[in-house]
Amino acid sequence: MLKVVAVVDKTGTALDRLAKGVAPYHDNLDYVVCDVHPKRPDPEQIQRFEDAARTADIIDFQYFRTAQMLVDKYDWLKEKTLILTHNNPYSIYEQDWHDFDRLVANNKTMLTDLKKHTGREIDYISLATEPNFWEYNLDWQPNKRVLMVANRIEAKKGIIEVAIACGDLGLTFVLVGAVSDPMYFHSILQTGTVEFHEQISDDELRKLYHTSSVLVCNSVDDFESGTLPVLEAMQCGTPVLTRNVGHIPELNDSKNMKILPSEPNNIESISTMLTDMLNDKKELEELRQNAWNTAKGFNMQRRAYEYQRLYRSTIEGESVSVIVPIFDKPDTIRACLNAISNQTHKNIEIIVCDETIEAEHKTLVAEISKMINLPVKYIHSGQDDYGLARARNMGIIAATGDVLVFCDERMIMEEDAVQVFVDNLVEKAWLFGKKGVDKNTFVENFSCVSRTELIEAGMFNERITQYGGMSQEIRSRTRAQHFTHRYIPEAKCNPMGKSSNRTRKRKEIIAMKDLLWKVGL
């Protein structure tokens, strides 16, 4: 199983939440999150990192100072594939970052700046939240509570100005964060309007979003790359008032938030904007609805998918997803997956789509995945029907590869089959290989095609609900869309056992042939 170690600065931070937030969507990887303090790492942190990193394929650094410290400390790290995500705009110009194989920006301003500074291609992966946790509050009502959420309470966050404005307006100022500047924090408390929360749980933070009228972000320029609380508030339905910093330019559509037009120290501007917002309940409700429409696209599942594509792009060769529907041949599953893992082409993920009703083979697939150094994703697609089209479509949607190879469970690929397919794939071609002594007639159960092209063609037809019409339908439809179906005899597999017994499926075959005839195929 491909092993990735994500490295953050410390637990409980926004970076830690981001790294751990994608973990449930990385179940096809051996994905470990390690926290290592960039200046004062304790021996246990260092040991945990060493233990994880020495056996890792990819090290995914989420904090630049920790990355700098560890790369300087361990020469052997340079033998690994190293990725660095810049989450701080001021980090961009500190060096040329030549030690890292890939660089990632989490907002588009940083993307442009990194390209100019390094002269390299930069990957863009946006910040994200988990929408199933940061739930939209249907019962929200405006009140006199104004919220700020800061990882570190310091002057660059522009907190005291918001506290003073709230005091002048008779509002409760709710502040969440960790104290990094005690004198500054004391000054904030002196305003007399503060309800302070330190080291609270995500559940408690969600409750504060749900019970606040406005979230404010008042940070100085070139300091924030996020902020993550803006996205969390938007998901929860809390109206946002923010300066145009970090990722705000790509989130703001002029209808989903209010932008502070002034510098962070302009208390009068903050007071005016808060007054105008709180006096217009209709506008607040519109901001809530529009904010959710934006934030729903910045979710953890998409972020995890983008990182998996990034991880795979560091491996040599075209990215291939091998889709393996399985149903009633557990004795062949192990042989099939082992043959895929032994391919000469190495940039492969395996997507197993289990058509059985009760997810009968999940444990077996999990056991196999631990033994091979490829990502293996298990999808339970089964219902009480003939679900081959559905299973393949679920695999297509989950795939992170640019190239799809379909390999039914009884097909045991020869070790160069995927490479032969990749070498012969051209635009609008659907390749099919040699299955034992098969004739050169297109059947998709051992084949190769572009993922994008197949999605645009409509994927597999889930109206084919019985045995006997799948190949004819997909062949006819894609041919009408100007696909060519090419036989590649050098791409070989050795079928185990027999295919479905056609003599026992005569009624199903007739039903599907009638269906296809009715639609003109």
For residue 216, what is the enclosing H or E element? strand 214-217
- Token pair recorded at residue 445: 């159960």
Which residues are paired to 320 by β-bridges?
348, 403
Separation between Cα atoms, residue 175 and residue 164, nearest integer Å: 13
Specify whether the CB–CB gap between 389 and 470 falls below 8 A: yes
281-295 vs 228-236: helix crossing angle, rounded to 10: 110
Q: pLDDT truncated to tens, each residue of the chain (521 aa)?
A: 899 999 999 988 889 999 999 999 999 999 999 999 999 999 999 999 999 999 999 999 999 999 999 999 999 999 999 999 999 898 999 999 999 999 999 999 999 999 999 999 999 999 999 999 999 999 999 999 999 999 889 999 999 999 999 999 999 999 999 898 999 999 999 999 999 999 899 999 999 999 999 999 999 998 887 789 999 999 999 999 999 999 999 999 999 999 999 999 999 999 999 999 999 999 999 999 999 999 999 999 999 999 999 999 999 999 999 999 998 777 899 999 999 999 999 999 999 999 888 888 899 999 999 899 899 999 998 887 778 999 999 999 999 999 999 999 999 999 999 999 999 999 999 999 999 877 778 999 999 999 999 999 999 999 887 776 888 899 999 999 999 999 999 999 999 876 655 556 777 777 767 677 776 76
Distance CA 417, CA 340 (A): 9
Give 352's strand partners: 324, 378
CA–CA separation, 212 vs 239, rounded Å?
A: 9
How far is the C-alpha of 400 from the C-alpha of 305, rounded, in Å? 7
Nearest-Å Rg of the Cα atoms of the chain is 27
Phi, psi of 404 (to 5 degrees): -105, 135
E strand segments, 359-428: 376-380, 403-407, 411-413
d(CA 5, CA 67): 12
Token pair in block for residue 427: 């635009």
Among left, alpha and beta (phi > 0; psi -120 to 50; other), residue 127 is beta
**Dist. CA 160–CA 149, nearest whole Å:** 13
Domains of the chain by start residue, with CATH: 3-124 (3.40.50.2000), 145-295 (3.40.50.2000), 315-518 (3.90.550.10)
How far lies 112's CA from each of 41, 121, 310, in Å? 32, 10, 18
pLDDT of residue 468: 65
Phi-psi region of 298 (alpha: psi -120 to 50; beta: other; left: phi over 0): beta
User: Does residue 12 contact residue 199 with C-beta atoms inside 8 Å?
Assistant: yes
* Residue 236 host element (H or E): helix 228-236
